[in-house]
């Protein structure tokens, strides 16, 4: 799986400041509907961009707790949230939450559960810490939904199959509804949030994920017979397609609104 060290933290932050992911955050906030005075938990707080918006919305009578397993991510989130006393960040694991039962009005987790192997346990923990009637919004990618034009489809397939290994479950959304129901939730709504570039834009989710995939597959491709030259050729092909106006990228994230 991927290691969320300082370099990864900077890459995630840059990608999550692109218009695609800014738009995603706006939709997640609309689905969560935070209200002043509420206690909200952000599981896998990452760079703290969502927690920052939530902290401003719950105001100084509310509380936002950002939890993350990676010290580099926590450092970045704490810096971002430093001026907001209603926000705090804690180190922890999504599968073992160190909070009392029914201690949050709402919980949000975007692009995190796909990294968590004991998913049933993580969802049961999420259910436990929510107040009865509380809301959860969970968003993850299903990498099977990808449509990405390439001059060499077979090589694209090998690169993406290696990239699947950066997650515990690259197809989590397809089974998340039943998993949430088994954990005791009612699933109220599921929506697609596409990351979509019909033409090349360097400052976009597609541009950022291309760089992340290149570095992950360069480090891990040997195990599946992918050499560094082949990975670079895959990357250069995308830049050539971009120059010719033939770049096309689309992948879906799926947002689940559930209630306890």
Ligand X SMILES: C[S@@+](CC[C@H](N)C(=O)[O-])C[C@H]1O[C@@H](n2cnc3c(N)ncnc32)[C@H](O)[C@@H]1O
Closest-approach residue to ligand X (CB): 46
Residue (127 or 158) nearer to ligand X, CB: 127
Residue (7 or 239) nearer to ligand X, CB: 7
Cβ at position 12, least distance to ligand X in Å: 5
Residue (122 or 241) nearer to ligand X, CB: 122
Residue (32 or 73) nearer to ligand X, CB: 73
User: Any bridge partners for residue 109, and if so which?
Assistant: 138
Cβ at position 95, least distance to ligand X in Å: 6
CA torsion through residues 55, 179, 123, 71, sign: negative
Cβ at position 16, least distance to ligand X in Å: 5
Cβ at position 139, least distance to ligand X in Å: 8
Residues lying near ligand X in the complex (CB under 6 A): 4, 12, 16, 44, 46-47, 49-50, 67-70, 73, 93-95, 110-112, 115-116
Kindly give the pairing relationship between strand 63-68 and strand 39-43. Answer: parallel
Cβ at position 173, least distance to ligand X in Å: 15
Residue (34 or 44) nearer to ligand X, CB: 44
User: Any bridge partners for residue 63, and if so which?
Assistant: 39
Rounded to whole angstroms, the Cα distance separating 207 from 191 reads 24
Residue (73 or 251) nearer to ligand X, CB: 73
Residue (52 or 63) nearer to ligand X, CB: 52
Cβ at position 230, least distance to ligand X in Å: 26
Cβ at position 194, least distance to ligand X in Å: 16
């Amino acid at each position: 799986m991927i290691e969320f060290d300082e370099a990864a933290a900077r890459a995630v932050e840059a990608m999550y400041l692109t218009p695609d992911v800014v738009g995603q955050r706006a939709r997640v906030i609309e689905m969560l509907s935070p209200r002043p005075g509420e206690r909200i938990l952000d599981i896998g707080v990452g760079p703290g961009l969502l927690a920052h918006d939530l902290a401003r919305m719950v105001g100084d009578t509310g509380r936002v707790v950002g939890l993350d397993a990676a010290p580099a991510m926590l450092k970045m989130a704490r810096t971002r949230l430093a001026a907001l006393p209603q926000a705090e960040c804690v180190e922890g694991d999504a599968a073992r939450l160190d909070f009392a039962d029914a201690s949050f009005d709402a919980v949000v987790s975007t692009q995190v559960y796909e990294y968590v192997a004991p998913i049933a346990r993580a969802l049961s923990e999420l259910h436990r810490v929510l107040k009865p009637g509380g809301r959860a919004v969970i968003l993850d990618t299903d990498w099977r939904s990808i449509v990405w034009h390439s001059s060499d489809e077979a090589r694209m397939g090998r690169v993406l199959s290696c990239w699947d290994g950066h997650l515990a479950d690259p197809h989590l959304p397809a089974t998340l509804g039943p998993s949430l129901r088994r954990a005791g939730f009612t699933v109220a709504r599921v929506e697609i949030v596409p990351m979509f570039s019909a033409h090349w834009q360097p400052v976009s989710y597609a541009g950022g994920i291309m760089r992340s995939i290149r570095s992950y597959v360069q480090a891990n491709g040997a195990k599946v017979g992918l050499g560094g030259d082949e990975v670079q050729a895959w990357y250069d092909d995308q830049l050539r397609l971009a120059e010719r106006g033939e770049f096309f990228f689309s992948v879906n994230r799926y947002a689940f609104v559930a209630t306890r």
